[in-house]
Amino acid sequence: MRSEHPIYAATQDFLATLTPAQVGKAKLPLTKESAAKWSNLPGGVQIRNGVQFSDLTEPQLAAALKLARTVLGLKGFDRFQSIRAADGVLEKIRPGSYSSNQYIVAILGEPSRTEPWMIQLGGHHIAANITVKGESGWSSPYFLGLEPESFESDGKTITPIANVRAAITGLAKSLTPDQVTKAILKDSFGDVVVGPGNDGKFPARQGVPVTELSPASQAWVKKAIIAYTGDSPFADAYQKRYFAELGETRVAISGTTAQSKPGDYVRIDGPSAWIEFICQPGANFPDKVHFHSVWRDRKLDYGGFLTASRD
């Protein structure tokens, strides 16, 4: 007897816990329009597909979190949970505007052993779009944001995107003045460019070629790629492909290299890999910055089944 693929099995287990009405909310057709309905903003199901965690019973929520752990991998699931916890911090400041239970899970298409289908997980500051086909899978678009940058929980300091921030900042600061001149973008930015609602809208490739960077800077590029793709159970395949394309990959920046002021921005742009990271003014802590970032794949967002890349 063939064992079921873990993602397929966890999805079926989750759906089996739901009432018919909940299945009607959680399970939707797989179309370009439904796949594109994801966001980094607070707001729950008003701006996302799916069923909201706050509307699930404890057994249903446990099944939803088991599914999240399966499709995100252990590192990705830890990040998902810690970003949810950050919303719990914000909820104490602005009750009703944020909540750690204002997160969703959606199944797009019919879970299948052979045909493509999707799982969406998300809420404020995180959006995961996982496409599955048979034994293969893809994990972009993937949005990460954060406010506050760190907080205390059970006597521990939680820093949900510490490895992302460290890799991006290390890369920016490692550039020489000449490399910064080549990397600098003429535009300033208030947010990521290819965020929600901008599927396929990749700008022309700009910046300093990775091949012109020092070995130390190239190592930071790899660390940044690992920081994002490491949240995927398909990380090895992504890293192999992206590292093989480093000869055609560029790094671009705007603002300063400190990654500590509003408008500080870094981009890694390859034939496939697309990563953006930006510092924004604090929305709830005015004296600090908060972060938005996105990982996309020029060729294989949504597994390449729904959108075509535009170079």
Per-residue pLDDT of the chain (311 residues; tens, 9 = 90+): 346 789 999 999 999 999 999 999 999 999 999 999 999 999 989 999 999 999 999 999 999 999 999 999 999 999 999 999 999 999 999 999 999 999 999 999 999 999 999 999 999 999 999 999 998 999 999 999 999 999 998 899 999 999 999 999 999 999 999 999 999 999 999 999 999 999 999 999 999 999 999 999 999 999 999 999 999 999 999 999 999 999 999 999 999 999 999 999 999 999 999 999 999 999 999 999 999 999 999 999 999 998 654 33
pLDDT for the residue 187: 94
Residues linked to residue 29 through DSSP beta bridges, in sequence order: none
Q: How far apart are CA 87 and CA 92, in angstroms?
A: 9
Alpha-helix residue ranges (DSSP H) falling in the chain: 6-17, 20-26, 32-35, 58-93, 162-174, 177-183, 215-229, 235-244
Q: Is there a domain that residue 207 lies in?
A: yes
Q: How far is the C-alpha of 267 from the C-alpha of 183, rounded, in Å? A: 9
Whether residue 292 lies inside any domain: the answer is no
pLDDT of residue 307: 66
- The answer to whether residues 224 and 196 belong to one domain is yes
Cα dihedral 188, 202, 27, 58 sign: negative
Longest dimension (CA), the chain: 61
Work out whether the CA dihedral 18, 21, 25, 30 comes out positive or negative. Answer: positive
Shared domain for 128 and 177, answered yes or no, is no
Q: Do 14 and 134 lie in a common domain?
A: yes
Are 35 and 97 part of one and the same domain?
A: yes
Q: Are residues 25 and 99 in the same domain?
A: yes
- Please give the residue range of the domain that contains residue 118: 6-138
CA distance 75 to 95: 29
Residue 149 falls inside a structural domain: no
The answer as to whether 145 is a domain residue is no
Q: What is the pLDDT of residue 309?
A: 40
Q: Do the beta carbons of residue 90 and residue 57 sit within 8 Å?
A: no
Q: Do 210 and 131 sit in the same domain of this protein?
A: no
pLDDT number for residue 249: 98
Check whether residue 95 and residue 164 sit in a common domain. no
User: Would you state the structure tokens that stand for residue 168, as one six-digit string?
Assistant: 């991006």
pLDDT of residue 311: 37
Q: Is residue 186 part of a domain?
A: yes
Chosen domain end from 75, 104, 138: 138
Residues 123 and 247 in one domain: no
Looking at the fold, whether 162 and 129 belong to one and the same domain comes out as: no
Say if residue 186 is in the same domain as residue 227. yes
104, 138, 172: which is the final residue of a domain?
138
Its pTM stands at 0.96
On whether both 129 and 180 belong to a single domain, the answer is no
Question: Which residues does 156 contact at the CB level (< 8 Å), separation at least 6?
Answer: none
Q: Which tokens sit at 59?
A: 């057994």
> Domain for residue 152, yes or no?
no
The total of other beta-carbon atoms located within 10 Å of residue 98's CB is: 22
CA-to-CA distance for 16 and 185, rounded, in angstroms? Answer: 50
Q: Name, in order, each residue with C-beta under 8 angstroms of 74's C-beta and a sequence gap of 6 or more.
A: none
CA-CA distance, 215 to 202, in Å (whole number)? 27
The rounded distance, in Å, linking the Cα atoms of 273 and 278 is 17
CA distances from 136 to 5, 105, 139, 172, 237 (A): 10, 20, 11, 34, 10
The domain total for the chain is 2
Dihedral sign for Cα atoms in the order 300, 103, 99, 229: negative
Residue 57: both structure tokens together: 């019973």
Residue 148 lies in a domain: no
Residue 171 confidence (pLDDT) = 98
Clarify whether residues 129 and 164 are in a common domain.
no
- The answer to whether position 310 is within a domain reads no
**Residue 299 CB-density burial (10 A; 0-12 exposed, 13-18 middle, 19+ buried):** middle
Nearest to 22 by CA among 40, 39, 45, 41: 45
